[in-house]
Amino acid sequence: MEGPDSTRLITACNRNVDDRQRLSLRDPQLMSARSGLVDDILLRHPAECAVCERAGECEVQEAVAAHGDGATRATLVGSGEQVQLGPRLVLDRSRCILCTRCVRFEAEVSGSAGLAVSGAGADTVIDTCGA
């Protein structure tokens, strides 16, 4: 979303808003940024929609339909390594789009700081702390 000072974009999922703020969700600059983010996600996501167990119920597919051009760009696929993060949480690195939900869940719901984002650019990964 466009920030209150209108000079930069901010992520809505990480911000508290109040009744006095005026927010734009359909600004051309914002739409262009969303499209770029979808492109970045597609670079990291395998093109396996036809055989994926989430086909038809996938937020990545929904984002592509809403903001992308539909082209598949799966060139930087993760390692395929699966990491058991807890009794009910498994990280599949080949499907990770770096949304950081698991990191935030660990910190905000579980109350631990067991996960973190590490690396930069194409080398960015979700990792266990101390790994």
- Would you list the domain boundaries of the chain? 1-77, 78-131
Residue-wise pLDDT for 64-103, tens only, equals 777 766 555 544 444 567 878 767 778 887 788 888 888 8
Residue among 64, 36, 35 at smallest CA distance from 49 = 64
Q: pLDDT tens digits for 35-56?
A: 888 887 777 777 777 677 777 7
pLDDT of residue 89: 74
Q: What are phi and psi of 9, to 5 degrees?
A: -90, 145
Model confidence at 14: pLDDT above 70: no
**Helix (DSSP H) and strand (DSSP E) numbers for the chain:** 3, 4
The DSSP secondary-structure symbol of 76 reads S
Confidence at residue 4, expressed as pLDDT on a 0 to 100 scale: 57
Both structure tokens of 123 = 């080398």
Name the one residue in this structure whose structure tokens are 């992520």.
11
